[in-house]
Amino acid sequence: MPAALMVAASYFLLLTPPISAFLVGGTSTVLSRGSLSVATSSLQMTATNGARIDQHEETKDDDNYDVVKVDLTDGRDYPIYIGTSFTDEQISETLTSHIHGKQALIITNDKIAPMGFLEKYEKLLAPHKEVHTLVLPDGESNKNLEILQLILDKALEEKLDRKCTLIALGGGVIGDMVGFAAAIYQRGVDFVQIPTTVMAMTDSSVGGKTGVNHPLGKNMVGAFHQPQCVFIDTDSLSTLPDRELQSGIAEIIKYGLIRDRDLFEWLEVNMEKLLNRDPEATRHAVKRSCENKAEVVKADEKEAGVRATLNLGHTFGHAIESGSGYGTWLHGEAVAIGTAMATTMSAQMGWIDNELVKRTYKLLEKAKLPTDLPLDSPMNREIFLKYMAADKKVANGQLRLILLKGALGNCVFTGDFDQEAMIDTIDEFVAECSGAQ
């Protein structure tokens, strides 16, 4: 049996210390391995001991890649392959083992296609499968129903059947749209993620969130649809623009803040290596992020509770993306500002100390990420509140936020926060913006 197939059959077993979670003003519960908390107005995550993730690694001959398992129910588990210097044979064997039908459609964008990635994967799969390709326009502004329609049109034109596999080759925009197309084409077909950005590798390609933007809100039209596998070749990051590299690091910092103290402290020491694309540092950061994401998805696949904590900074950040116009900010840049806002608000309520605020701002700035809005920003209090009111985490008319509480590595998902502190934080961040004058 090929090595890739052996690994696909037996991945890493991910184990973490129990995450304590309790409900404020409600029934107490403990979130341990394999259990899920009840949806509530307030949930607290405590990541003791730096949220160390113990792994059982399957013995294999190849040491150029790792495999992290996303452990789900009903036989839907899937592997995340993370490595460098993959041979053509490794790529071909690994991907074809997850394409169960005869037909495959590789979808990428007009920025990735000229770099040779599309030609490479098409060439490696063509001897084994009937391969079709589609190139879409790049950018967040094209993550909409109109562009999604192009994927469905192509699938129908090529007479792809229910056994086909759609392959997302690109960043978060491509991954989200292709996954959504797979979820709705003929009521659901397989898809594979091949992420090419740090953002996609560490966050969006894992966990099955798919969708497109709507003029009234980001990612408001979509579905949960898990991939057959995620194939991460970190060599592809060599062509990634510096700005997009930095944007993706925002999601890695997030894991450190909400549940993995050790990762945060590692980033404080190794940020320069990440920015310089050091292979070992990159592989470590991507792997650790995927382990964190896989553990949370296992506990709460459809974001009924603990998975919402992965959205630290996103409620503010999505408002910035929508209010500024899609494409003005990269997703990670908006999330970085949102994280600064969530950290500031947490400190205003006395939930974290000022030392953690300083460390958070310092690490974001070390990653060359923005921590405030520019003078020409159109954002103001009204725009923030308009888009935050439409956030997916609103329940029964109540806005819920992910905020930091306690020591590094701890957070809460709650609607029980000081509204004045939120307004004060927004006002502080928009004070000098042109939109607030």
CA angle 234, 122, 70 (to 5 degrees): 45
**Among all residues, which ones are annotated catalytic?**
187, 209, 251, 293, 303, 307, 311, 314, 318, 331
Could you say which DSSP state residue 12 is in? Answer: P
CB 254 within 8 A of CB 296: no
Comparing CA positions, the residue from 108, 226, 254, 217 lying closest to residue 167 is: 108
Q: Report the alpha-carbon distance of residue 410 to residue 50 in Å, rounded.
A: 10
Q: Report the alpha-carbon distance of residue 226 to residue 182 in Å, rounded.
A: 10
Q: Report the alpha-carbon distance of residue 432 to residue 437 in Å, rounded.
A: 8
Comparing CA positions, the residue from 131, 145, 67, 123 lying closest to residue 101 is: 131
CA atoms within a 13 Å half-sphere pointing along the CA-CB vector of 409: 17
CB 115 within 8 A of CB 246: no
Burial 325-352 (b: 16+ CB within 10 A, else e): ebebbbbbbbbbbbbbbbbbbbbbbebb
CA angle 125, 129, 133 (to 5 degrees): 70
Comparing CA positions, the residue from 23, 48, 34, 43 lying closest to residue 259 is: 48
